[in-house]
Structure 1
Amino acid sequence: MTRRRLLPLLLALLLAGTAGVAGCTGDPAEPAPPPPAGGAAALPGPVPTDLALRPAPEGAPAAPAFTGTLTDGTPLTAAQLWADRPVVLTFFSSWCTICADRQDALSELAATYRDRVVFVGVAAVDQPDDLQEYLRAHRVAYPVVVDEEQAIWRSYAVREPPAVVIVAKGGALLRGWPGGIEVADLDQRLRELVLAETP
């Protein structure tokens, strides 16, 4: 092969090699998508040392215990949560207009009580994409159990959303509201039923 023919061939090989290297070190990788709302990242932190609670009334029934799966697949056992602090269960669906109307205020209340009282959503009759859209739109920062078979709903006699239940530390069922409750009233009930004034 003559030098005149060899030079273009070497140049083509050199350019092909450069392009290959550029392709390997080109655009940075796409950023990882955010974790699903309502997943393990939303689980509570340690119980505050100054948390003062009212004792549960004698004879209060035990709340139905359940194990479920959060939106990101993380298992959640309700009894582990209410072993050391009160829990508010909110039963909802993304298509429920009453749920949507109250959710922003409920999200704010949950943030106010963060770590002192655990809010746990229990979603059913829903689609994963619709549920995620709802949780992000309403800034739901607490864990959400996906109750696909509505087994948890049935154990709490929930037939349709919304519904709200307060469980005392230790698992006593304090109060439930089929049809839900206005958020300001829920705040008042938490103060009356659950929280004790610190001296």
Structure 2
Amino acid sequence: MRRIGLVLLVLVLAGCGTQAPAATSDGVLAFAGKLIDGEPFDGATLKGKPALLWFWAPWCATCAGQASSVQEMQQTYGDRLGVLGIAGMGSNAEMHEFVSDLEIPDVRALDDEAGVVWRKFGITQQSTYVLLDRSGTIVTNGYLDSVDLPAKVKAVVG
């Protein structure tokens, strides 16, 4: 029994645990940082419309598979949806390479190498989506496949 508990603890610490519960707060978009190109970014700029936050890592094969879907959400919904990739668990050079190799130039990418924004949202694994409605309420926090992502986004964008 102890062995099972230890295995579960290791899995949770390794990023195989559950996501933080959905939350509402005026401060949910109260974060700032720099995009991978060094440009300052303020999360408050996403307020007032639905937002899709995509937490990814540059070495993550699942994230690479999702990149085109996130790019498609940006192109489909344009200025009706705020889309932000939040890159972690890698260097800035690796983040640039990921964006370039996967050809996702329309998706703004925040460099969160230090994990500040990941911790704010309770992210324990990549790839995770956090989808917020117009009021800033988190409506989805977790993994979405290529069918669920467009359906969930369409539901909040309207």
TM-score, with normalisation over the residues of structure 2? 0.77
Q: Give the 3-state SS of the residue equivalent to 2:153 in structure 1.
A: helix
Partner of 1:100: 64
What is the letter of the counterpart of residue 186 of structure 1?
L
The 3-state SS of whatever aligns with 2:79 is coil
Deviation at 1:186, TM superposition (A): 1.2
1:170 to 111, 115, 135: 135
Greater RCO, 1 or 2 (C-alpha within 8 Å, sep 6+): 2
Aligned to 2:112: 147
* 1:89-132 deviation per Cα after TM superposition (whole angstroms, max 9, x unaligned): 00001101111122122212221111111110100111222211
Q: What residue in structure 1 maps to residue 49 of structure 2?
A: 85
RMSD value over aligned CA atoms? 1.6
How far did residue 64 of structure 1 move?
A: 5.1
The partner residue of 1:117 within 63, 69, 81 is 81
CA shift at 1:71, angstroms?
1.2
Instruction: Determine the C-alpha separation between the residues in 2 that align with 1:124 and 1:195.
Output: 27
The match for 1:68 is 33
Task: Please tell me whether Structure 1 or Structure 2 has the larger radius of gyration of its CA atoms.
Answer: 1
Preserved CA contact (<8 Å) 1:98 1:162: yes
CA deviation string 1:125-176 (max 9, x = no partner): 1122221111012222121111121011011111121100011223222221
The answer to whether the 8 A contact 1:79-1:171 is kept is: no
Query: Normalising by the residue count of structure 1, what TM-score does the alignment of the two structures yield?
Result: 0.62
Q: Name the count of aligned residue pairs.
A: 133
3-state SS of paired residue (1:166): strand
Amino-acid identity (%): 26
Are 2:125 and 1:187 aligned? Answer: no
- The answer to whether the 8 Å contact 1:106/1:183 transfers is no
Is there any run of 5+ residues in structure 2 with no aligned partner, and where?
1-22
Larger % of strand: which?
2
- The structure that is helix-richer by fraction is 2
Which residue identity is paired with 1:195?
A: V
Other-structure match for 1:37: none
Render the CA deviation track for 1:4-30: whole Å, top value 9, x for unaligned. Answer: xxxxxxxxxxxxxxxxxxxxxxxxxxx
Q: Quick check: 2:91–2:113 contact (8 Å CA) kept in 1?
A: no
- Residue 8 of structure 2: aligned partner: none
* Counterpart residue number, 2:97: 133
Matches of residues 14-29 of structure 1 in structure 2 within 5 Å? none
